[in-house]
Amino acid sequence: MIMLGSAASNQLGAAVGAHAFAAIGPAGVVAVRQFVAAAVLLPVARPDLRRFTWAQWWPTLLLGLVFATMNLSLYTAVDRIGLGLAVTLEFLGPLAVALAGSRGRIDLLCAAGAGLGVYVLVLPSGSSDWTGIGCGLLAAGCWAAYILLNRLLGERLPGLQAPAAATTVSALLAAPVMVLLLVQGRMTGTALLYAVGAGVLSSVVPYAADLIALRRVPARYFGVVMSVHPVFAALAGLILLGQVLAVHEWLGIAVVVAVNVVAVRQNTNDGGTARTQCGQRGHRRGVAGVPGERHGDPQDRDAAACGSGRPPGGE
């Protein structure tokens, strides 16, 4: 129940944040969310930035850029194609990392199944919003990059220092957006409340919930349960944003979720949990992300070697 609550909170936060798009746009919501995530992570991890070496700094800087790009592309996708579709496309990132190094028959079938699921989900046509779809796929690529960078940083920085430092970098990158919105008078109290709510629900709550959950359940089960993220995203979009999905979209989501469950179970049985589930949001999340002592959104039971389910400023 705790894990399901974490997933629900994540998607509820994304839906709440979408209510601020009209006033401050996806970039404004992302900027506020990054500051909220940094405010949570910095006091917990307390990274000594002055002692970072260049070998620690360059992947940290890249990770901060990935955070900013991932969140902006995801929220832009949410604004254009809806929460359910955007999160499902983003979900392909960790799934791709899980399947990339495998040549097993089941994993190849999973890759084919994921491709089929995306085709059914999108049903490409002349009226498709290719910008929104592209943003969703960009978010997926960023999530995959997040997993790989977090895996590298896990070998160079202890605990949550890497995501805390990277989230700070991301917040600094977003600072000009905050300044511009304030100068233009667009950062209204209501918009700020929605954006902060998104940060709390998608970063703070999942962070605390996942820490509790991973003390009680094996990491492999966490990965399977996190497969419900696309479904919860679709439900949050329907209930809170009035985004009604077509039958083929529900079917596409179901296929992608099923493929992820099979991939997680297969790689766990093959002894590949640590290899494939590192790095996957509060946020972000197993193929979908298995946190350890992570921020809300780093993975596996060894957060020092892995990332997180949902990156700190994650979806």
Provide the number of structural domains found in the chain.
1
Q: What is the mean pLDDT of the chain?
A: 81
Find out whether 175 and 168 touch, Cβ atoms under 8 Å.
no
**Rounded CA gap, 290 and 125, in Å?**
36
Dist. CA 300–CA 159, nearest whole Å: 12
Angstrom distance (rounded) from CA 76 to CA 26: 6
Give domain status of residue 284, yes or no. Answer: no
103 pLDDT band, cuts 50/70/90, is low
256-305 pLDDT, tens digit per residue, is 888 888 877 776 665 544 443 443 433 343 333 333 333 334 333 333 23
Q: How far is CA 261 from CA 145, 267, 286, in A?
A: 21, 10, 9
Q: How does residue 127 score in pLDDT terms, banded at 50, 70 and 90?
A: confident
Q: 22 falls in which pLDDT band (50, 70, 90)? A: very high
**Does the structure show a pLDDT above 70 at 253?**
yes
**Dihedral (C-alpha) 304, 307, 309, 313: value to the nearest 10 degrees?**
110
Summarize the confidence of residues 118-144 as an average pLDDT. Answer: 91
Within a domain: residue 78? yes
- Structural domain of 128: 2-277
167 pLDDT more than 80? yes
- pTM above threshold 0.95: no
Residue 297 covered by a domain: no
- Tell me which of 36 and 154 has the higher pLDDT: 36
Q: Residue 84: its pLDDT value, please?
A: 93
Which tens digits make up the pLDDT trace of 205-226? 887 776 676 667 665 566 677 7
Closest alpha carbon to 28 in 148, 203, 177, 143: 177
Least confident of 163-177, 226-240, 255-269: 255-269
Closest by Cα among 124, 33, 18 to 76: 18
pLDDT in tens, 115-126: 899 999 988 888
Residue 136 lies in a domain: yes
Note the pLDDT of residue 220. Answer: 59
Q: Do the domain assignments include residue 311?
A: no
Which pLDDT score is estimated for 205?
85
Domain assignment present for residue 98? The answer is yes
Residue 249 resides in a domain: yes
pLDDT band at 313 (very low <50, low <70, confident <90, very high): low
Identify the pLDDT of residue 222.
63
Residue 137 lies in a domain: yes
CA atoms within 13 A on the CB side of 173: 23
- Which pLDDT does position 314 carry in this prediction? 58
**Residue 108, C-beta contacts closer than 8 angstroms, at least 6 positions apart:** 102
